[in-house]
A and B are shown apart, each in its own frame.
Chain A
């Protein structure tokens, strides 16, 4: 059974810092991995999607990496801004690609001005 773990659960950094969020998973048989952003009481915004055959994806100040063999993914945020404050969720789609996602518990990020 796939399990997804995110560390740390919460993170507070001053504005301008670069930071890394971690996601680990127990079953390397995945279809893809996504990183989402969730603002309090809101839905999900997809940030980056990495297919199982890919090693990383970049969008603006965000870079996500995937290492299937070690069951890890990282989300790197460069030059953090207060507007980046949110909860970041990592989610795995299994290799059968049914559309079901298994989510980590998230990392709540606070970027202080």
Chain B
């Protein structure tokens, strides 16, 4: 089956630093990728939609200058948390949508646990 690789799986960083998370579709081309965030004991909330070759679309309340998304190829999207602060500590997970065809099948990465000290 289709696989989405996300890494790192966990990262600890100091406040003020930037962290990059990668989401890669291994055996299919993903024209669209989605980035979600999950705080403890809460559900996944969509942060942004990433389309290959164009600017990401951010959900209301998500700062685009803080959460930089790049989708430079059909198999790779990156999320960079800039100047991370403790309140950014969360579980971040991506999903990828196949190109055309069976769009109702979304494939999720394994998630990244970010802890900002």
Contact = CB atoms under 8 A, between A and B. Distances in A.
A26 interface: no
A99 B109 CA distance: 15
A91 B44 CA distance: 10
Nearest to A41: B113
Contact of B34 (A32, A49, A100, A104): A100
B110 A97 contact: no
Interface in B27-55: 32, 34, 36, 42-46, 49
14 contacts: A31-B104, A32-B104, A41-B10, A42-B110, A42-B111, A43-B6, A43-B110, A46-B108, A89-B43, A89-B44, A99-B49, A103-B43, A105-B42, A105-B43
Name the residue among A31, A93, A101, A105 with the largest chain B CB count within 10 angstroms: A101
A76 B10 CA distance: 33
A51 interface: yes
Majority-rule SS of A interface residues:
strand
B97 interface: yes
A46 B102 CA distance: 15
Contacts of A91: 44
A100 B49 contact: yes
A46 B108 CA distance: 9
B93 A99 contact: no
Given A43-B93, A89-B43, A106-B43, A99 B110 contact: no
Interface string B74-117: 00000000000000000101010100000111101111010000
A100 B42 CA distance: 18
Contacts of B45: 103
Contacts of A51: 104
Contacts of B104: 31-32, 49, 51, 93, 97
